[in-house]
Structure 1
Amino acid sequence: MNKPYSILLYYCYTPIADPEAFREEHHLFCLELNMLGRIIVSKEGLNGTVSGLKEDCEKYMQTLKADPRFSNIDFKVDASEEHAFTKLHVRTKAEIVHSGLLHINPNVRTGIHLTPKEFREMKDQQDVVVLDVRSDYEYSLGRFKNAVTLNIENFREFPEKVDELKEKYKDKKILTYCTGGIKCEKASAFLLEQGFENVYQLHGGIIKYGMEAGGEDFEGKCYVFDNRVAVDVNKVNPTVISTCHVCGTNSDRMVNCANPVCNLHVPICEKCGVEMEGACSAECKEHPEKRPYDGTGYYQKELNGYNPLKGFNRRKTKQVTE
């Protein structure tokens, strides 16, 4: 059965002279195509995850690729029964992924890009270290077999961990990976800057590896930043590595704690979800603000009359009448 929607994951490091002007233009274009999702515009490029009807997504991709600035953009495309988002946000920021490494331009120097096939062939070699540059809640749900993980809550903490990596792995070949490839662009460049000599990155990230290499040896599920929360990657030798926050049994069912004050994002099995009414602890179960549990552990944010044009300063256009 053909699914009517597509979910696009993409990024492109390319100079954008006037990010705010581009943001307004791009926001309007997304509205015209009924696209939903999150897009970041910066002087250094574009980063987005969006969803829409297949034909609208095709037009979106064709239009971006027709712009010389984005001609090399690599879209990861997944089919869906529905939109993966409820809102459209197009924002300008200093970086397209927050790292604090503003001086690094991946177009000048970065790790050697490996195709999923090349990554699969290299990852188990004796002189290779496979490095996960994602946050702890992401790799706790799924990661490559024998990958080195970092105790970080967000990517901007990555530079602080490089000295630890130097002590153990400076003379090794470092294969970095992340969800879609964007974090590796600056992570691998920073490793080179800090004296590592053999640095590589999985082009297209975990998502593309699953699509083109069957996801072999990726254990668990891949955390994604849309309403799906987690997606299957491994079609060759799948397994579950995450455990229920409450009882410790294997579970890859990611939920938010029903207590909105806590809102902890962790795996909780179906049995504990029912018994705890969606809460992550006895204290949260008794919290007066606890949300009703519907069995999913996913709580839709209140739209509160959401208007995608709010704060959107569309330039005045001259009305042409016949």
Structure 2
Amino acid sequence: MILNIAAYHFVHVESPETLATWVRERAEALSLRGTVLVAGEGINVFLAGDESAIHDFLADLRTDERFANIVVKFSRSSTQPFARMKVKVKPEIISFRRDGASPLGQRAPAIEPSTLARWLQQGHDDTGKRVVMLDTRNAQEVEYGTFAGALTLPIAKFTDLPQALAPHRDTLADATVVSFCTGGIRCEKAALWMREDGMDNVLQLDGGILGYFEHVGANGYDGHCFVFDDRVALDPQLQPLVDPA
């Protein structure tokens, strides 16, 4: 079995090029494949390989105090879902291009999967307010699945979100809004930006959909979660829609 990991961590990186070189050399030495994005704001990791090699990579990464607390989501496949190893230096580890969206100084309040599952079951949050799930992913991803009744936006890329959200802001004012995405990175930026932009009723789903699947399964979610490799999407048991040959 191949062990797949998805992880990100927002932290100041003084020399993204130096970090990218280390990641590339270490991943290739361990015969790992996947995509790693590095920027001045942190790292975004999608890797797959032999289980011991993945754990060796993570152990080495965590010796760097900047990444000692990186949170990792695991899944498995019978074959390698990535064709090659790619490491890129980018302006952002997820492109949003909005002021007030950097989690380096602070992050938006987060809700744990177990609490969200309870809210969805009871139909409101713990203060009695209605809960609106806000999908920050693009339309192609949403087609594979989303939370039941979620507000989805007709966007092709993450940078389109502010404009697409604008017509809905007034109708969300009386709700507790939970921003969600695949693994947490987009909803973390989106929730922080929305709060900085005056929507103080927004939370982020800690760990995104994959973290939700890991901790509570399908509760309130319909379908699969699109992922960015040859598995195409994962079901709530973290099993691939397509097991690449």
RMSD: 2.1
> Which residue pairs with 2:95 in the alignment?
98
Is 2:148 the counterpart of 1:145?
Answer: yes
Q: Secondary structure at the match of 2:71?
A: coil
Who wins on radius of gyration, i.e. which is larger?
1
Within 2, Cα distance between the matches of 1:112 and 1:51?
A: 30
1:100-115 correspondence runs (5 A) = 100-101=97-98, 103-115=100-112
Structure-to-structure mapping, 1:219-258, within 5 angstroms:
219-233=222-236
Find the partner of 1:11 among 5, 8, 13. 8
Gaps of 5+ in 2: none
Superposition map of 1:127-276 within 5 A: 127-233=130-236
> Percentage identity across aligned positions?
29
TM-score (norm 1): 0.70
Higher helix share: 2
SS at match of 2:169: helix
Alignment partners' CA distance in 2, 1:104 and 1:130: 19
Secondary structure, aligned partner of 1:38: strand
Measure how far apart 1:128 and its partner are.
Answer: 1.5
Larger strand share, 1 or 2: 2
Residue equivalent to 1:43: 40
State the 1:111 CA deviation.
Answer: 2.2
Q: What secondary structure does 1:228 align onto?
A: coil
The letter of the residue matching 1:21 is T
Maintained 8 Å contact 2:153/2:165: no
Q: Which runs of 5+ in 1 are unaligned?
A: 236-252, 255-295, 301-322
Q: CA deviation at 1:34?
A: 0.7
Give the conservation status (yes or no) of the 8 Å contact 1:217–1:234.
no
Change (3 A) 1:82 1:102: farther
Contact 1:85–1:226 under 8 Å retained in 2 = yes
The alignment partner of 1:97 has SS state of coil
Compute the displacement of 1:67 (Å).
Answer: 1.3
Which residue pairs with 1:59 in the alignment?
56
**What TM-score results when the alignment is normalised by the length of structure 2?**
0.91
SS at match of 1:191: helix
Distance apart, 1:234 and its partner CA: 6.0
Find the aligned partners of 1:80 and 1:61 in 2 and give their Cα distance.
19
- The CA distance in 2 between the partners of 1:108 and 1:159, in whole Å, is 21
The alignment of Structure 1 onto Structure 2 pairs a total of residues equal to: 238
